[in-house]
Structure 1
Amino acid sequence: MPPTHLFSTPSRWRLRSLPLWLAMALPWPALAEVWQCRDAQGQISFSDRPCPSQGQALDARRLQGNVVEAPRRAAASQPASAATESQARSEPVNDCPGDQELRDMEVRANSRSLGDAERAFMQDEIRRVRQCRKGQGRYSAEDWRISREARAAQSSSNAADARRRAEDMHSAADPAEGERIAKQRRAEQELARPRRPAPCLNGWEPGCARP
């Protein structure tokens, strides 16, 4: 009886994929009886019985290994890809103003139309931009939009409120700058606190607190 041919095709890619397909389709006992046969015309076929002429038995362990290792390789590559995507999503941004904007800020900081508090704020913003460009803090484009609005408001009546909004933004984006801002605010509050007059020693000192 001629061998039972499972598949017969001259296509090279199909021939290379047949052992793997057979390993997946056949049960374990059948894997030991897979034969690769070659006829007189050189055509290769696969059979579950010994070849009538030229052929060889395929190693069942090699076939099984191909089936097992393929999912393992795919599964091993998935965690690495997932980790790369997660790192890209969680990596913080640090968007900083460019050279031209920094030059414009320096010109504005030297304007005679600004008061002392407004000029000090502009100089602080210049320092913060330079810190950002050196990698300090984690700023977004939205953060610097708040900074630009505050800088533009330094000639208006709501300059103090705009400065506070910008400082709150810097405190959230840069913890080190946030500590400096908090320290500066405590010092300003201490200076603004009304001081109790010193007691009168001889009863005639101007501005002293008499009992």
Structure 2
Amino acid sequence: MKRALWGLGLGLALSGAWAQQVWKCEAEGKVVFSDKPCPQAGRPVAERSLRPNVVDAIKPEVVDAAMGRAAASAPAAAPSPGNACPGDGELRGMQTRANSTTLGDAERQFLQDEVRRVRQCRSGQGRYREADWDISREAQAAQTQIGERARQDARLRAEAMHSAADPDEGDRIARRRIAEERLARRQQQAVLRGQNPASTPLP
């Protein structure tokens, strides 16, 4: 009984899909199928020759191809989620702190870099999550704490996060560290030679 009902349903599906007359047309050396008579060379196609296998018969794209209709476009893929970036108010607060005269040079430079990274994020650069900016906020707050080591460790954690979220920024951070290491070596060598480290040129 179930087999009979299944066969009846399949037959109805096939008959509905192929009830309309189909024409095989030749246009510019190509063969196309249409539900309208061919404007040039062509002929109607016998219904029995149109029947594909059972599985393909119920696929909409098969019906569209046989009828000469453009296949329905696939649903558009969901857009990739955009960056999670700090808002206008937070950015203004970061700018104010980055210009504070109470900070040391390294701390001020870090906060200014964070302002630049926020702007890059808002322009679509990198792939940030909200949790990433929590790391940045902790590092920013640490720049006013006592203890140079703690401030430096916080900066390193934030820079590691930025390197993972934004490869371009990661390259910039790596190049800056190389330049800083070279400068430190030159200054150390100058001290050993009895020169003034402040007069040592940048690499």
* TM-score class normalised by the smaller sequence: 0.5 to 0.7
Amino acid at match of 1:101: E
RMSD: 3.6
Q: Note if contact 1:23-1:64 (Cα within 8 Å) is conserved in structure 2.
A: no
Over 6 Å off, 4+ runs: 74-77
2:177 to 185, 191, 204: 185
Aligned-residue sequence identity (percent) comes to 57
Partner Cα distance (1:75, 1:115) in 2 = 70
Closer/same/farther in 2, CA of residues 61 and 20 from structure 1, 3 Å limit:
farther
Q: Is 1:23 aligned to 2:15, yes or no? A: no
Amino acid at match of 1:21: G
Amino acid at match of 1:72: K
Quote the offset at 1:80 in angstroms.
Answer: 3.9
Map of 1:127 onto structure 2? 116
Quote the offset at 1:113 in angstroms.
Answer: 2.3
Quote the offset at 1:148 in angstroms.
Answer: 0.7
Q: Is 1:145 aligned to 2:139, yes or no? A: no
Partner Cα distance (1:22, 1:189) in 2 = 75
Closer/same/farther in 2, CA of residues 96 and 168 from structure 1, 3 Å limit:
same
Map of 1:101 onto structure 2? 90
Cα deviations by residue, 1:4-52 (Å, 9 ceiling, x for unpaired): xxxxxxxxxxxxxxx9637269xxxxxxxxxxxxxxxxxxxxxxxxxxx
Quote the offset at 1:101 in angstroms.
Answer: 0.5
Partner Cα distance (2:177, 2:10) in 1 = 77
Amino acid at match of 1:99: D
Which residues of structure 2 form unaligned runs of 5+?
1-6, 14-45, 64-70, 196-203
Cα deviations by residue, 1:66-99 (Å, 9 ceiling, x for unpaired): x76652227999x946xx5xx548x354111110
Closer/same/farther in 2, CA of residues 22 and 155 from structure 1, 3 Å limit:
closer
Which residues of structure 1 form unaligned runs of 5+?
1-18, 26-58, 199-206
Q: Note if contact 1:93-1:140 (Cα within 8 Å) is conserved in structure 2.
A: no
Q: Tell me the TM-score normalised to structure 2 length.
A: 0.58
Closer/same/farther in 2, CA of residues 106 and 62 from structure 1, 3 Å limit:
same
Cα deviations by residue, 1:46-71 (Å, 9 ceiling, x for unpaired): xxxxxxxxxxxxx9749967x76652
Amino acid at match of 1:23: G
Map of 1:159 onto structure 2? 151
Of the two, which has the highest radius of gyration?
1
> How many residues of Structure 1 are paired with residues of Structure 2 in the alignment?
143
Partner Cα distance (2:127, 2:114) in 1 = 15
